[in-house]
Amino acid sequence: MEDPAVPIVSLAAPEAEAAEVLRLACTEHGFFYLTDHGVSEELVQAAFAAQRAFFSRTLEEKMRIKANKYYRGYTPFAEETLDPQRSRHGDSHEGLYYGRHVEEGSPEAELPLHGPNQWPDETALPGYRAATEAYLQAVAALGCRLLRLLALSLGLAADHFSPHFTRPMLFLRPLHYSAERSSEAEGLYAAGAHTDYGMLTFLRTDGQPGLQICTDGAAWRDVPPIPGAFHCNLGDMLARWTNGRYRSTLHRVVNRTGRERYSIAFFFEPNFDAEVAALPQCLEHEQPPLFPPTTAGAHILERYNATHAGYGAAATGAAA
Ligand SMILES: O=C(O)CCC(=O)C(=O)O
Ligand SMILES: [Fe+2]
């Protein structure tokens, strides 16, 4: 077999071995494939079937669950511009956001991004909610497994990150890319170049190519899907936490096929109030931290505001 584009972390390997592969992947690539992860293919395919059914509804129907003030729900085509510098159009995808359910009126719902999900009508899309929730739960459990390995890979106790994930922020983001070909000349991208904001991202795609990464500041490299594997990558928050030792790598999606594409991203983030400050283990030779301490919530909100046209309006309750 040809060498994979980025390392493969197998959860079937002994923990110490997997942690070592993960460490190399995180320091050199910021991306890896995750295999033997235990999330059943049936569940994944059911989640994809549900999203295809949702995105095939009319715009009017989809807009009934337009992202609310908690930023959960539907975001139409071009609402997101991941690379405002190079893009002259909004990204050619539409999407959805779901998270951990937070009861309206509960103290936690006072926090930005925390609140109830908005689900499409069950009679129009029977089974949609069950398939999507089952997938969300499965990837969240996988996220917890990865946290252990991540801690071990940094030479920390396996449960180091656990206290920061007692009320995690979970963002499930089903995406539907249009068939429109990307054009660098026209500043049109399926998903513009960006780094992810948070801690860990778990991505599945429908098998269509398009995802590219840039690790050297110059060349874009394809990261083709491996059947059954997750694409995983690290976001800026983990780079901050590890004082730059673990990389948050620039990536984008380009459409060269003229075909539609579906993917489901899952962003696994700490509690809103979790403090994110450089780990002492990552401060070599008394080198000062590269970033001031922050909280997970403040960090995420800053990035949402920069990339989502609808976010500010939704969060303040203004008509978008
Ligand atoms: O759809 C993909 O392949 C990548 C999506 C992505 O990078 C993101 O949503 O942050
Ligand atoms: Fe991304």
Distance (angstroms) between ligand 2 centre and the Cα of 14 equals 29
3-state SS, one letter per residue, for 24-90:
HHHHHCCEEEEECCCCCHHHHHHHHHHHHHHHCCCHHHHHCCECCCCCCEEECCCCECCCCCCCCCC
In degrees and rounded to multiples of 5, residue 217 shows phi and psi of 75, 5
How many domains does the chain fold into?
A: 1
Q: Which atom of ligand 1 is nearest to the CA of 251?
A: 7
**Residue 112 falls inside a structural domain:** no
Evaluate whether 290 touches 278 at the Cβ level (below 8 Å).
yes
Q: Which atom of ligand 1 is nearest to the CA of 233?
A: 7
**Residue 115 falls inside a structural domain:** no
Range of the domain at 235: 8-59+79-93+120-304
pLDDT digits over 148-177, tens only? 999 999 999 999 999 999 999 999 999 999
With a 6 Å cutoff on the Cβ, whether 231 touches ligand 1 is: no
Neighbours of 130 (CB within 10 A): 12
**Residue 239 falls inside a structural domain:** yes
Q: Which ligand is nearest to the CA of 263?
A: 1
ipTM of the prediction: 0.99
**Residue 47 falls inside a structural domain:** yes
Q: Which atom of ligand 1 is nearest to the CA of 210?
A: 3
Task: Collect residues with CB below 5 Å from ion ligand 2.
Answer: 196
Neighbours of 101 (CB within 10 A): 13
Q: At what angle do helices 41-55 and 128-153 cross, to 10 degrees?
A: 130
CA 184 from chain centre, in angstroms, equals: 24
User: Does 309 have pLDDT greater than 80?
Assistant: no
User: Please, which pLDDT band fits residue 314 given cuts at 50, 70 and 90?
Assistant: low
With a 6 Å cutoff on the Cβ, whether 176 touches ligand 1 is: no
**Residue 129 falls inside a structural domain:** yes
**Residue 214 falls inside a structural domain:** yes
Q: Comparing 58-62, 83-87, 306-310, which segment has the lowest mean pLDDT?
A: 306-310
At 183, which CATH number? 2.60.120.330
User: Does 317 have pLDDT greater than 50?
Assistant: no
**Residue 66 falls inside a structural domain:** no
**115 burial level (CB within 10 Å; 0-12, 13-18, 19+):** buried
**Residue 170 falls inside a structural domain:** yes
The C-alpha angle 62, 63, 68, rounded to 5 degrees, equals 115
User: Does 94 have pLDDT greater than 80?
Assistant: yes
What's the confidence (pLDDT) of residue 313? Answer: 56
| pTM for the model | 0.95
- The closest alpha carbon to 80, from 281, 258, 318, 314, belongs to 314
